[in-house]
């Protein structure tokens, strides 16, 4: 039993705990266990959350994130970083299919964690941490195009909309107070500068080769 060896544990959970087959707009915490995920990532996160919520140890908080972006993510596959890198190598910004997504910037999440330490333990184990204001992938693509001064049109590979992936953060914010999220134009602008400073010409050539190959 490791309880005595830590003061309070914070688990970074996921909206995938609600099961991607059963997503609804702005999902509430009460939906947990209504549908059990069958995909590897979802069932993994579900099992962790289930163990934590059933535990007698209340020195635990599980924050469910729905989408997060920022420095050091996998730019070969993460939507915002991938499209910034597309722009840097002269490829068009693209998306497979549009959808509404509740993205947060990793720097905002770090600020939130720093602010929460003097407020824990909270009254529940699991909370959604998200903006509650989902944004479309197309809108994010347009922001990237604008900031990168791209003349190419955005490529949308498939028509229609995928199911919305968003949460309702009201249970958390009603307990601890509101949190101010950074506007996307500001956070994406900072991420663009990060890649301009850190991506070498070799990195960009490798990225372009994989992207078009």
Model pLDDT, residue 98: 98
Joined tokens for residue 36 = 């059990």
pLDDT at 1: 65
Determine the pLDDT at residue 212. Answer: 77
What is the rounded CA–CA span in Å between residue 111 and residue 179? 10
**Which 8-state DSSP code applies to residue 32?**
T
3-state DSSP of 43-105 = HHHHHHHHHHHHCCCCCEEEEEECCEECCCCCCCCCHHHHHHHHHHCCCCCEECCECEECCEE
- Asked if residues 135 and 181 have their Cβ atoms less than 8 Å apart, the reply is no
* Rounded Cα–Cα distance for residues 124 and 58 (Å): 8
Domain enclosing residue 11, as ranges? 3-212
Closest CA to 198 of 69, 67, 68, 70: 70
Model pTM? 0.94
The CATH number assigned to the domain holding 186 equals: 3.40.50.720
Q: Phi and psi (nearest 5°) for 171?
A: -60, -40
Per residue of the chain (213 residues), give pLDDT as tens: 677 788 899 999 999 999 999 999 999 999 999 999 999 999 999 999 999 999 988 899 999 999 999 999 999 999 999 999 999 999 999 999 999 999 999 999 999 999 999 999 999 999 999 999 999 999 999 999 999 999 889 999 999 999 999 999 999 999 999 999 999 999 999 999 999 999 999 999 999 999 876
Q: How many domains does the chain have?
A: 1
Query: Tell me, what's the pLDDT at 211?
Result: 87
In this prediction, residue 213 carries a pLDDT of 60
Task: Find the angle CA(107)-CA(165)-CA(170) to the nearest 5 degrees.
Answer: 65
Alpha-carbon distance values, 113 to 2, 10, 46, 78, 199 (Å): 22, 9, 22, 23, 29
């Amino acid at each position: 039993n490791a309880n005595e060896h830590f003061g309070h544990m914070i688990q970074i959970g996921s909206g995938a705990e609600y099961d991607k087959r059963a997503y609804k707009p702005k999902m509430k915490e009460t939906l947990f266990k209504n549908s059990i995920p069958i995909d590897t990532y979802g069932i993994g996160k579900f099992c962790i959350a289930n163990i934590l919520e059933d535990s007698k140890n209340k020195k635990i908080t599980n924050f469910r994130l729905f989408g997060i972006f920022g420095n050091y993510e996998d730019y070969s596959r993460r939507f915002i970083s991938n499209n910034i890198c597309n722009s840097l190598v002269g490829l068009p910004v693209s998306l497979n299919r549009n959808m509404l997504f509740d993205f947060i910037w990793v720097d905002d999440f770090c600020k939130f964690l720093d602010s929460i330490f003097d407020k824990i333990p909270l009254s529940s184990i699991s909370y959604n941490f998200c903006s509650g204001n989902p944004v479309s992938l197309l809108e994010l693509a347009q922001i990237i195009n604008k900031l990168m001064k791209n003349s190419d049109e955005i490529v949308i590979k498939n028509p229609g909309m995928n199911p919305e992936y968003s949460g309702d953060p009201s249970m958390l914010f009603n307990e601890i107070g509101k949190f101010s999220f950074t506007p996307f134009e500001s956070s994406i602008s900072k991420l663009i500068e990060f890649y301009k400073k850190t991506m070498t010409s070799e990195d960009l050539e490798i990225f372009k080769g994989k992207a078009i190959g």
